[in-house]
Amino acid sequence: MKLDMIKAAVRDIPDFPEKGIIFKDITPVLKSPELFRAAVDLMCAPYRESPPDLVVGIDARGFIFASAMAYRLGTGFIPIRKKGKLPHVTVSADYALEYGTATVEVHEDAAGPGDRVVVVDDLLATGGTLAAAVGLLHGLGAKVEGVSVLIELAFLKGRSKLPGETVRALIEY
């Protein structure tokens, strides 16, 4: 029931950020205390019995869900940010965009060998950002226990860029 309510609250914004794109706007979910809490609880559910050591959030909307999940699960939080936003020594990964490339970074000491992590974002589309983040964490020696997103645009086949990873999405389009 709650999942249906969450899905119903996501609104479509046509032609944003550019013509031909239908943007999935999650702000109505975030605005509702009941729906936001339900979304976080549902995203945490697979990890309650064996919480990870750390929850990783991807800049920027991934931070919203990841930090709430870290709090709920009693773990630490790691931000993965766009290039140039972290103050300490970082490692980085480039990934493809529709037109060009982008870069994400994480502090080199954010996670280490054996740390069990869950990677969180609001949306899985083409998979480039999540694949870059997962690659960074593997490079640090962390064990990725799962990838968790609120929404997956399954028709874009982003999961194909995350082979061998357990990907969980609350809502699929």
Q: How far apart are CA 143 and CA 163, in angstroms?
A: 14
Write the pLDDT tens digit of every residue in 91-144: 999 998 767 799 999 999 999 999 999 999 999 999 999 999 999 999 999 999
| Domain contains 64 | yes
The range of the structural domain enclosing residue 101 comes to 49-172
CA atoms 149, 127, 164, 117: torsion sign: negative
| Domain contains 9 | no
- DSSP-assigned beta bridge partners for residue 82: 104
| Domain contains 44 | no
Write the pLDDT tens digit of every residue in 26-54: 999 999 999 999 999 999 999 999 999 99
* C-beta separation of 167 from 147 below 8 A: yes
pLDDT at 1: 73
Active site residues: 61, 98
How high is the mean pLDDT of the chain? Answer: 96
Instruction: Say how many C-beta atoms besides its own lie within 10 A of residue 18's C-beta.
Output: 8
The two three-digit tokens of residue 15, written as one number: 């032609």
pLDDT at 115: 98
Structural domain total, the chain: 1
Q: Is the pTM of this model over 0.85?
A: yes
> Which three-class secondary structure state does DSSP give residue 112?
coil
